Every structure is written in structure tokens, then in C-alpha cells.
Structure 1
């Protein structure tokens, strides 16, 4: 993988390239970024650049023997460790390496849920077990085979339990030219003993413009569709790519239509619309709820006087400006809370007709009758 194929993160890319040019490559680095930020892709591109036989000014060459092997994830000096769902106590990541390569080559913005879909996970918990730790130590006890560096990319070290302390010695005192690149999402869940031995590289979320441009250029989305998905994904490219596989729906139009029905208290139309929502499918229902939560959050910001921080597309911003004329901040906050609860229940397979009808009636009380829920009671807005 080359840096040029990674969406955004230009500052991080340049910093990584400079460490190589200035001979400041740390033997243990932690790429810390939220899901969908590209931290795993950055680690792979960095490893490829380090091993490239004909480094360019700002990227690996992509055509040398080393780069070709990296692009297929088969380089003998590139090793991966990752959470898996062990069936036996002596299972290691090598038991799942073919599935790993398939998943990563298909989508370098991999999430644990996507990875789970490639494995027979059943009800098992993902982890990186002691057998895998011993396998890592064994693999890294040898000198590099072809390249200047032997590199281990450890994805989601949060799933190392206390047995991860077995890696401390080799992380602190590795073989010459051996690198550890850890890729994590949650710093608080990493063993402190490992965290203290790594150099931290913080990878930020992508912005809406970067995701939008990528969807237009690489996935041939219309500008409106790309802007809506970018807004809905909230900086998570993994989520944005997942939304491309769902049925095309204008969540903005659906959501505004729903709120207008509730504001006008159009009972029969609401019932009919609930039937439409119930047929969307669970993933689209989740996206619809997520869009509503994001949209109402932006309305809250406008109502709170922070309109300069709002990043809605032009069409959505125009309707938001009109909506706040009939909605107070407490009303918007109450609707947001209803939608968050609904999203929670959609994820847990609640009956969609009952759920959406109940939420609709509660929104009617808020918008039409201006009553804000307080526990099991309602008060006037």
C-alpha cells in the first residue's frame, strides 16, 4: 500500500516520511486513531516505504520487488498480529492469515465487525492470546530476510490481556532492525506497560470534505449523495464505505418528511410512513437514526448560538434554519435523546413498527404539543 492511496492525513504521511529521511525511525510506534481514520493503512504504507528499494520523495515506488510483495501482503519480513476468535488454546494469528489478507486487501479501513464477518466467530470474544504472544517472539527472534527491517504490525493491542506482558522484553530490546507498529483505537484499554514503551502517533478523524471527495472520485457518487454520506459517517471512512452497500435513500428527505408529519400530527400518514421505515432493513434504519441524531445535533448548535461551527451541506443547512423557528433547544435535545434510544433498540433487533410508531408519537408530543419528557412525565416547553 502506498501513501498516495490513503485518504487525507497529509500531515501524518509527511511526518512518517521525514522520520525515514532523517534516520529517526523508532523501533516501537503506536498509531492511535478512531475507527475509519486510516491508522492501519498508514502503518502498512509506512512499512512499505521503509522496505522500498527505490524510495521516491514522498512515497514508495510501488514497482520494486519489495513493493509488489507488500501490495499482496506476502513480504517475508512483514508480519501481522490481530485479534481472532480462538477455537483452541494454541491457535495463533497464522491460523487465520488467509482470511486476514483477503479482508485487508479488500478494505484497508478494516473494523473488528468487518473482520468478524470473515471468521467463524460464533459467540466467542476476540482476543490476542498467550500462544500468539509466543508466536510473535519466535517470529521476531530472526534477522530480516530480504529488507532492511523486519516489521510486525499489531492491530488492536487493546485485545492483549495481561499475557501481553510477555512481549515487554522484545518490545524494549528487539533484535536489530526490528520494528513494532501498533495500531489502536482506544488508548485507555492498552496495557500501560506496553503503552509506555511506544512512540505515540495520533491519527485524527477524516473531515467531511475528504470523505466526500473520495466518494465522488473513487465510488462515482453524486455530490449530494457523497455529502450526505460524509456527514452521516462523522469522519469514519469505514462507516461511509458500508453505507455505499445499503439501498440508496435520501436520509435527509426521509427525516424531514417524518418531522413534518409529526409537527402536523398527521396520524394516518405517520402510520403509513412507519411501515416504510420498517421495510428499510436494519442497517438502513440504523443509518436513518444516525442521520437524525447528527442533524438534530447541528440544530442544537445553531439554537445555542454556535452556528459558525455547523458543517451541514447547503440544502440541509437551509432546512435547519427553517426548523429552528418551530423548535426550542430543550425540544431538540429531547428529540435527540429519543433518537439515540431508538438507535440502541434498532441495533438490538427491536420490532421496527412498534419502535418507530412509539418514537413518532413521542415526537408529536414534543413538536406539536410542546411537551418535554421528564422521566415518565411530560412538562410544557
Structure 2
């Protein structure tokens, strides 16, 4: 993995490169960034740069023997630890290393759901068990084999329970030239005893333009499709890549059509439309609802006179501006609440036909009957 393969994060890349050039490499670092920001990819690219035999000014060479092994994740001084779904108490990360390599090489922006798909997870909970902690200590007790550094990349330390305290000594006092790179999403879920022993590197979510440009240049999307997916992904490239695999991405057209049916209270057409939504598949339904939530929030910004903060594509912006003439902030907030609840229930396999029909009736109340929620009751505006 080279830095140039990672979307955006220019400032973070430069910081990591400078730490190597200035010989200020901390032995324990925490890459903290939201899902889809590229934090795991950055950790791997950083490890490859550290081990590269012909470092360039701004990246690893990609051609030396070390880089070639890193590109296959087979370098003997590169080790990974990650949550897994143990079938036996003695299972460790090495049990699933082939699946891990396949998953990461297919998508360096993987999340836990994608990782679960590579394993026979059944209904097991992911964790990093005590056997894995002992395995980490064993791996890091030896000197580097080929490289200047022996590197352990621990993905999602949030899944370390109290067993993680077994790692404190090796994190605080590692063998010479041993690096511990933790890659996390939620700082509050990491053991404080581990957190206090690491140097924090905060990685921000990607920007709208960064994701849009990537989708156009690397995923061959049209400007309109890239704009819609970038907007919907909200800085999460993992979500953006998942959306590319969905069959139906014209969420704007569908969502506006839904609102128009609700506003006109067209019962027969609305029932047919709900039937269409119920057949979209769960992931498309979730993306559709997420689009709706984001779109209505942009409408709220327009109503509040904060148009400079709106990032809708031109055609969608025009629609939003027209809608603000007949919608109020309280209406929008009520619709957002219903869409968020619907998203929650879709994730939990609610009956989609019943769910979308119920939400439609609620939206009719907000738009046509001018009602808004107050507590558990609905009163007229």
C-alpha cells in the first residue's frame, strides 16, 4: 500500500513521512479516524514506507523487495491483529490471516460488516481474545527479520476487553525497533490504560470533493452519479464504494417523487410506490432513507438562510429551493425523525411494506394536514 493509493489525507501523509525523515517515530501510535476515512490504509502505507529499501521524497518506492512483500501483506516483519469470530478458544488472528489478506487487498477501506462477510461468523460476536493477546506478545518478542522495524497493526482495539491489559507492558516497553500501530474509530471504547500509552494521530473524514473526484477518476462514475454518492456517503468512502454495488442509485428522483405523492395525498399511487420501495432490498432502502435525511437537512439550511453551507448538486439544489416554499423547519424536523426511525427499523429487518406505508402516512400528516409531533401526540401547527 502506497500513500498515493489513498484518497485525500494529504496533511496526515506528510506528517507521517516527516516523522520518518526526522527520526521521530513513536513506538506506539493510535490512528483514530471515522469509518471510511482511510485510517487502516494509512497505517499500512506508513508501515510500508518505514520498511522501504529505497524511500522516495513522498512515498515508498513500490518496487523494492520489501514493498513487493508489503503489497501482498506477506512481509515477515508485518503483523496484523483484528477482531474475529472465534470458533475455538485457541483461535487467534493468524487462524484467519488468508481471509484478512483477501479482504484488505480487495478493499483497504473495509469495515467490520465487510470483514464479517469473509468469515463464517454465524451469530458470534467479534472480539480480540486473550489467546490473541498472548500471540501478539510472542510475535513482538523477537527481533526484526528483514526490515529495520517489526510492526504490529492492530485494527479496532475497541474490541479488546479487559484482556487487553495483558498488552500494556509490551506497548510501553517494546523490543527495540518494534512499532505498535493501533487503528480505531471510537476513542471512548478503547481501554484507557492502552490509550494513555499511545501517540494520537487524528484522521478526519474525507471531504465531499475528495470522494466525488475519486469516484469520477477511479470508479468511472458520471459527474451526477459521483455527486449524489459523495453527498450521500457523508465523508465515508467505505459507504460510497458499497453504494456503487447497488442496482438503483437515483435516490433523489425516488425521494422527491415520494414527497410529492405524500403532499398530494395520492392514496393509490402511494400504495404502489410503497410496494416499489419494499422491493428495493435492505441496503438500497437504507441508502434511500439516508439520502432523504441528508436532503431534508439541506432544506433546513436553506430555510434558515444558510445557503452557503448547502452542498447539493445543481439540479437537486433547484428542487430543494422549490420545496422550501411549502415546508417549514418544524415539518422538516418531523420528517427527519420519521426517516431516522425507519432507518433503524430497516436495519433490524422490519417488514418494509408496512414500515414505508406507516412513514408515508406520517409524512402526509406533516405536509398535507400541517401536523407536527409534540411528545407522543400530534397537534396542528
**2:297 aligns to what?**
297
Asked whether the 8 Å contact 2:49–2:59 carries over to 1, the reply is yes
Instruction: State which drifts further: 140-149 or 367-376.
Output: 367-376
**2:310 aligns to what?**
310
Corresponding position: 1:235 with 2:235: yes
Q: Secondary structure at the match of 1:181?
A: strand
Equivalent residues in 2 for 1:164-313, closer than 5 Å:
164-313=164-313
**2:69 aligns to what?**
69
| TM value normalised by structure 2 | 0.99
Q: Secondary structure at the match of 2:226?
A: helix
User: How far apart, CA to CA, are the structure 2 residues paired with 1:29 and 1:71?
Assistant: 22
**2:23 aligns to what?**
23
User: How far apart, CA to CA, are the structure 2 residues paired with 1:254 and 1:324?
Assistant: 18
**1:48 aligns to what?**
48
User: How far apart, CA to CA, are the structure 1 residues paired with 2:217 and 2:60?
Assistant: 22
Q: After superposition, give the CA deviation of every residue in 1:271-329 in whole Å (9 maximum; x if it has no partner).
A: 11111111111111111001001111111222223222221122211111111110010
Cα shift at 1:226: 0.6
**1:162 aligns to what?**
162
User: How far apart, CA to CA, are the structure 2 residues paired with 1:346 and 1:357?
Assistant: 13
Cα shift at 1:268: 1.1
Asked whether the 8 Å contact 2:16–2:46 carries over to 1, the reply is yes
Cα shift at 1:156: 0.3
Instruction: State which drifts further: 149-158 or 244-253.
Output: 244-253
Gaps of 5+ in 1: none
User: How far apart, CA to CA, are the structure 2 residues paired with 1:217 and 1:102?
Assistant: 24
Q: After superposition, give the CA deviation of every residue in 1:172-221 in whole Å (9 maximum; x if it has no partner).
A: 11000000000000000000010001000000000111111111111111
User: How far apart, CA to CA, are the structure 1 residues paired with 2:206 and 2:270?
Assistant: 37
User: How far apart, CA to CA, are the structure 1 residues paired with 2:106 and 2:196?
Assistant: 33
Instruction: State which drifts further: 299-308 or 219-228.
Output: 299-308
Q: Secondary structure at the match of 1:29?
A: strand
Equivalent residues, number: 381
Q: After superposition, give the CA deviation of every residue in 1:5-45 in whole Å (9 maximum; x if it has no partner).
A: 00000000000000001111000000000000000000000
After the TM superposition, list the runs of 4 or more consecutive aligned residues in structure 1 that deviate by more than 4 angstroms. none
Q: Secondary structure at the match of 1:179?
A: strand
Cα shift at 1:82: 0.3
**2:98 aligns to what?**
98
User: How far apart, CA to CA, are the structure 1 residues paired with 2:93 and 2:69?
Assistant: 20
Q: After superposition, give the CA deviation of every residue in 1:132-177 in whole Å (9 maximum; x if it has no partner).
A: 0110000000100000000000000001111111111111110000
Asked whether the 8 Å contact 2:243–2:249 carries over to 1, the reply is no
User: How far apart, CA to CA, are the structure 1 residues paired with 2:189 and 2:322?
Assistant: 43
Instruction: State which drifts further: 40-49 or 366-375.
Output: 366-375
**1:57 aligns to what?**
57
Instruction: State which drifts further: 366-375 or 126-135.
Output: 366-375
Corresponding position: 1:357 with 2:349: no
Gaps of 5+ in 2: none
| TM value normalised by structure 1 | 0.99
Q: After superposition, give the CA deviation of every residue in 1:101-130 in whole Å (9 maximum; x if it has no partner).
A: 000000000100110111111111111111
**1:137 aligns to what?**
137
User: How far apart, CA to CA, are the structure 2 residues paired with 1:371 and 1:154?
Assistant: 51
Cα shift at 1:376: 4.0
Corresponding position: 1:344 with 2:359: no
Cα shift at 1:350: 1.2
User: How far apart, CA to CA, are the structure 1 residues paired with 2:55 and 2:310?
Assistant: 41
User: How far apart, CA to CA, are the structure 1 residues paired with 2:166 and 2:350?
Assistant: 43
Asked whether the 8 Å contact 2:207–2:235 carries over to 1, the reply is yes
